[in-house]
Amino acid sequence: MTSLTKSTKNFRNLGIGEVISWSEKNDGIKGETSSARFELTVFDEHTIRVQISQNDSFFPNPYSTVNTPKGVFSNIEENDSRQVWIKTSKIHLCVNLSPFFLTFQTPKGEIINQDDPAFAVSWLGTEVTNYKKVQKNEKFIGLGEKTGNLDRAGKAYTNWNTDYFAYGVEDDPLYMSIPFYIGIHNQLAYGIFFDNTHKSVFNFGASNNRFVYYSGEDGDMDYYFFHDDSVGKIISAYSDLTGKMEMPPLWSLGYQQCRYSYYPDSEITTLAQTFRDKDMPADVIYLDIHHMEKYKVFTFDGQKFPDPKSMIRTLKEKGFKVVVIMDPGIKTDKGYLPYDEGKEQDHFVKYPDGQIYEGQVWPGWCAFPDFTKPETRQWWAEKMAFYNEAGVDGYWTDMNEPASWGQFTPNLIDFNYEGEMVSHRKARNIYGFQMARSAMEGSLLQRPQERPFVLTRSGFSGIQRYAAAWTGDNVANEDHMMAGIRLVNSLGISGVAFAGYDVGGFAGEATKSLFARWMSIAVFSPLFRAHSMINSSDAEPWAFGEEVEEISRNYMKLRYKLLPTIYSSFYQSTKTGLPLSKSLAIDYPHDNKIYLTEFQNQYIFCDKILVAPVKSTKEITKVFLPEGDWYYMYNSQKHHGHQIIYQDCPLNYLPVYIKAGSILALQSDVSHTGEANDETLYLHIYKGNDKSVHIHYEDDGISHDYKDHGYFKREIEWDSSAERLTFKKPQGEFQSKYKKIKLYLHGNQKVGNAKIGEMTLTPKYENVAFLGKLTEFDPLPEHDHPYHEIKAAPSFVIEHSMEDFSIDFI
């Protein structure tokens, strides 16, 4: 134990004072200052935890993290400057002892992040704050579901889960809180996750030019600091800590149709048949709150849905899955079994004097299950047998902030919080997170052989382990369409890889052009769901006239063609934690152009598709092509990167580009994910300058067998310079659904034969169209049309059953 002289000075709010004593512990150090105690723990070479409290013990969040320290080597030493250094291969942390403040450096001595030495960690009453110095030209990204610009510098944000109907594109807070951000400066990047579930504020230089800070209205200063050599690795480190999603059911990646609300049952079966009659692929239909009797969860309205089992069976015969809404409010009616059971078994949130808390929601006055209590989560999971017996496939947890009329839940009500007993102030931000957890566990309880699908509106860091997310009650306008893209990309930066928005807008009514454009953009979103509200015009893809119907059909078919690529990318995300929709700030964080207003909405989908979203009112747009070469998807025109181009963007052609060197995997048209394809995997190979690897992944799409070798995984390497395509030996015990592979080469139309060992293949030259042709509504003259400009691409057909082989293109 090293002892230091205790400071006799007592400056108000000037940090936590001098370090009185410190000592080494497993994986770090611990100590005391003149006003607090602290622990610094090395979780990994790229992750250090900082805990500071004014109490005798720490009170950590029991929900968000899933990992413990890995026991990596770290060197701890004290120098003559009254500093303690904790060194890993990625981070050198300097602990200044007099006064206490932290400086995170690279092994080369570059400052990554530093406390403001005067304030560092300070308390104002119960509010705890960490003040950080701003580095030169520092940018800030992340924080999950936050509106505004990609770069959050100069703004402040509040984390307090809020039901916000028809929110504005700059409004805050919204439904979900993820207190994790990434700072970028001087060719460096770092991440900070403030693991405190109280209401918190992140201020990135709003109203001051001295510091940035994050604060919680109560609780400990408990944060994790991440640093690695790329933004992607920082996101992976955060996902290692908070968990990654598991493989979703394949059907959840198809098109999903929702409305508030479809009823009666005949309307829903007609809806399903219309998709099939119009040759528009779709997989999911939602049942919103009007399926219930007087909005009471775990009921069906006997008049609107007299035989729900029969209805759901009919939908399944047409290839549809059914997702049902679950709200947390339990109507306080005696004789209503969920209320009677919840009251008797002590499952509801209470006031401190033991009276059950009631708030008004759709059913009227309601009690609210305490999902921070393990026994309540188990009870809810058991109640979900009601829906399972009806044949329901997935669950949609809504109103789980929790929402109630008046939007002002009393702070003094009590929550179990895994036995700690806390107030609403500490429990609110994780309430929806734990409801989604209960829904996921209930789905597994009812159907243990099938993967769950849960969609949630509210959540906190770690929500990706239990549910997909959507961005709530958006509005049918052009700005909201673009804001939704940024929200999904920001969620991806923050560990939530499976996310989406209400296509077409929930509130208000989309114009014809807006809906068409929104559908084309949403094809390149992890979650592809359209949703609209009551008392509005029909908003199905055929409801806007023949032109919009044809555009929608083309893009919906493209989504299903792309499913081999999308599904493989979901598999990669379960391993890395990286999103499918990647803001350009992940791969190109130090390129200032990507933060400009006109380019901040662009993103990379599935690591190889550059999407340049554009409002439906534009006919031409500027596109920034990042470093590398890019092929315009519709005609394979090649563009050099690191430049701004002007791109025609008629309503039927969203600007989309394929990264040079990529392998894009497609399949034939299907009407839903359960329908068999033509057993051919179509691989589009784009010539580049380097080697690249595509991981092709398959499994049965529904069971958990993939966790135990029930998968087919094959590494495919493309060496552009040598023009050699190598198929590695497949892994896993699942038999591929594809018997043949058809190759298309883009960027080298003059290729001759191909050789596989001694076997020679002669190419056929085919025009390749990713979209069907718009025969009647196309605004472009034939000579300007991407469809007609497609260069004939050489193609080859090979058997998929060969173990491992290479193809040389001569």
- Strand-pair category, 422-423 with 414-415: antiparallel
* 249 falls within a domain: no
What's the total number of domains in the chain?
A: 3
Average pLDDT of the segment spanning 378-406 = 98
* 38 falls within a domain: yes
Local confidence band at 14 (pLDDT 50, 70, 90 cut-offs)? confident
Of the three residues 545, 561, 577, the one that is the final residue of a domain is 577
User: What percent of the chain lies above the pLDDT cut of 90?
Assistant: 90
Residue 145: the pLDDT is 98
- Strand-pair category, 394-397 with 454-456: parallel
* 398 falls within a domain: yes
CATH code where residue 799 lies: 2.60.40.1180
Residue 42: pLDDT above 80? yes
Q: Are residues 485 and 539 in the same domain?
A: yes
* 722 falls within a domain: yes
Residue 805: the pLDDT is 87
Q: Are residues 495 and 434 in the same domain?
A: yes
Q: 640 or 789: which carries more pLDDT confidence?
A: 640
Residue 700: pLDDT above 70? yes
- Length, in residues, of the chain: 810
Residue 787: the pLDDT is 59
* 616 falls within a domain: no
Of the three residues 577, 608, 636, the one that is the final residue of a domain is 577
Residue 749: the pLDDT is 64
Residue 578: the pLDDT is 98
Residue 763: the pLDDT is 85
Check the CA dihedral 153-158-163-168 and report its sign.
negative
Residue 795: pLDDT above 50? yes
Q: Are residues 224 and 316 in the same domain?
A: no
Average pLDDT of the segment spanning 220-246 = 98
* 68 falls within a domain: yes
Average pLDDT of the segment spanning 609-618 = 98
pLDDT tens digits along 248-257:
999 999 999 9
Of the three residues 577, 611, 629, the one that is the final residue of a domain is 577
**Which residues, in sequence order, are CB contacts of 796 under 8 Å at separation 6+?**
742, 743, 754, 761, 763, 764, 807
User: What percent of the chain lies above the pLDDT cut of 70?
Assistant: 96
Residue 7: the pLDDT is 40
CATH code where residue 432 lies: 3.20.20.80
Residue 5: the pLDDT is 42
Q: Are residues 284 and 237 in the same domain?
A: no
CA distance to 40, 187, 610, 627, per residue, from 591 (Å): 34, 10, 16, 9
Residue 768: the pLDDT is 81
Q: Are residues 220 and 288 in the same domain?
A: no
Q: Are residues 556 and 676 in the same domain?
A: no
CA distance to 308, 321, 445, per residue, from 390 (Å): 6, 12, 15
Q: Return the DSSP state at 511.
A: -
Q: Are residues 261 and 230 in the same domain?
A: no
Q: Are residues 188 and 290 in the same domain?
A: no
Domain with 682, as residue range(s), is 663-809
Q: Are residues 150 and 274 in the same domain?
A: no
Residue 3: the pLDDT is 46
pLDDT tens digits along 290-335:
999 999 999 999 999 999 999 999 999 999 999 999 999 999 999 9
What does the alpha-carbon distance between residue 5 and residue 381 come to, in Å, rounded to a whole number? 56
Q: 5 or 31: which carries more pLDDT confidence?
A: 31
Q: Which of the residues are catalytic? A: 398, 401, 473
Residue 790: the pLDDT is 55
Average pLDDT of the segment spanning 550-571 = 98
Q: Are residues 667 and 701 in the same domain?
A: yes
Residue 801: the pLDDT is 66
* 715 falls within a domain: yes
Q: Are residues 226 and 286 in the same domain?
A: no
* 52 falls within a domain: yes
CATH code where residue 182 lies: 2.60.40.1760
Q: Are residues 191 and 303 in the same domain?
A: no
pLDDT tens digits along 453-512:
999 999 999 999 999 999 999 999 999 999 999 999 999 999 999 999 999 999 999 999
At residue 479, the 3 state secondary structure works out as: helix
